[in-house]
Amino acid sequence: MLNLPIKKIFDKRIVCYVRRKHIWTKERHVKSPFKDVEIPDLTVSEYIWSHVHKWENKTAVVCGVTDRQYTYAQIYKQTQILGAALRKTFKVKDGDTVAVILPNVPEYPTTILGILSSGGVVTTLNPIYTSYEIQRQIKMSDAKLVFTIPEIVPVIREALEQCKANIPIIVMDLEKDRPEGTVSFKEIVGNTSIDMSVLKDVKRESEDVSFLPYSSGTTGLPKGVELTHRNLVANCVQQDTDCRMYEFTTDSHQDSVLGILPMFHSYGLSVVTLHKLSVGVKLVTLPRFKPETLVSALEKHSIDISYLAPPLLLFLGSHPQVTAKHLDRLRNVSIGAAPSPKADIEAFLRKVQRDIHVGQAYGLTETSPLATIAPLGYKNYRSVGFAIPNVELRIIDGNLNNLGPDEVGELVIKGPNIMKGYKGNPEANKQVFLEDHWFRTGDLAQISEEGVVTIADRLKELIKVNAYQVPPAELESVLKEHPDVFDAAVVPIPDSTTGQKPKAFVVLRENRNSTDKDILEFVSRRVAPYKRIKEVAFLDEIPKNPSGKILRRTLIEKYC
Q: Is 21 left (phi over 0), alpha (psi -120 to 50) or beta?
A: alpha
- Residue 132 — very low, low, confident or very high, per pLDDT cuts 50/70/90? very high
Burial 424-442 (b: 16+ CB within 10 A, else e): ebeebbeebbeeeebbbbb
- Residue 36 — very low, low, confident or very high, per pLDDT cuts 50/70/90? very high
Tell how far CA 253 is from the center of its chain. Answer: 28
pLDDT value at position 11? 36
Cβ pair 387, 371 in contact under 8 A: yes
The arithmetic mean of pLDDT across residues 371-381, rounded, is 92
Cβ pair 322, 295 in contact under 8 A: yes
This prediction's pTM: 0.86
- Residue 4 — very low, low, confident or very high, per pLDDT cuts 50/70/90? very low
* CATH fold group of domain 71-204: Rossmann fold (3.40.50)
For the chain, the distance separating the N- and C-terminal CA atoms, rounded to the nearest angstrom, is 37
pLDDT value at position 21? 57
How many residues can be counted in the chain?
A: 560
3-state secondary structure string, 221-238?
CCEEEEEEHHHHHHHHHC
pLDDT at 15 over 70: no
pLDDT at 548 over 80: no
Q: How many CA atoms lie within 13 A of 303 on its CB side?
A: 29
CATH architecture for residues 463-559: 2-Layer Sandwich (3.30)
157: Cβ–Cβ under 8 A, 6 or more apart, which residues? 169
Name the residue ranges covered by the structural domains of the chain: 71-204, 463-559
- Alpha-carbon distance 502 to 480, whole Å? 16
The two domains 71-204 and 463-559 share their CATH topology (first three levels equal): no
Residue type at 190 in one-letter notation: G
Triad 471, 236, 54: Cα angle to 5° = 140
What is the DSSP track for 298-327? Answer: HHHS--SEEEE-HHHHHHHHH-TT--GGGG
**DSSP assignment, residue 61?**
E
- Alpha-carbon distance 556 to 543, whole Å? 11
- 39-48, 190-199, 340-349, 361-370: least confidently modelled range: 340-349
- Alpha-carbon distance 175 to 150, whole Å? 10
- Alpha-carbon distance 386 to 376, whole Å? 12
What is the DSSP track for 361-385? Answer: EEE-GGGSSEEEE--TT---TTS--
pLDDT at 550 over 50: yes
pLDDT at 219 over 90: no
pLDDT digits (tens, 9 = 90+) for 61-109: 999 999 999 999 999 999 999 999 999 999 999 999 999 999 999 999 9
* Number of neighbours of residue 270 by Cβ within 10 angstroms: 28
Tell how far CA 100 is from the center of its chain. Answer: 14
* Number of neighbours of residue 391 by Cβ within 10 angstroms: 25
- How would you classify the pairing of strands 223-228 and 214-215? antiparallel
pLDDT value at position 240? 94
* Number of neighbours of residue 43 by Cβ within 10 angstroms: 23
pLDDT value at position 18? 47
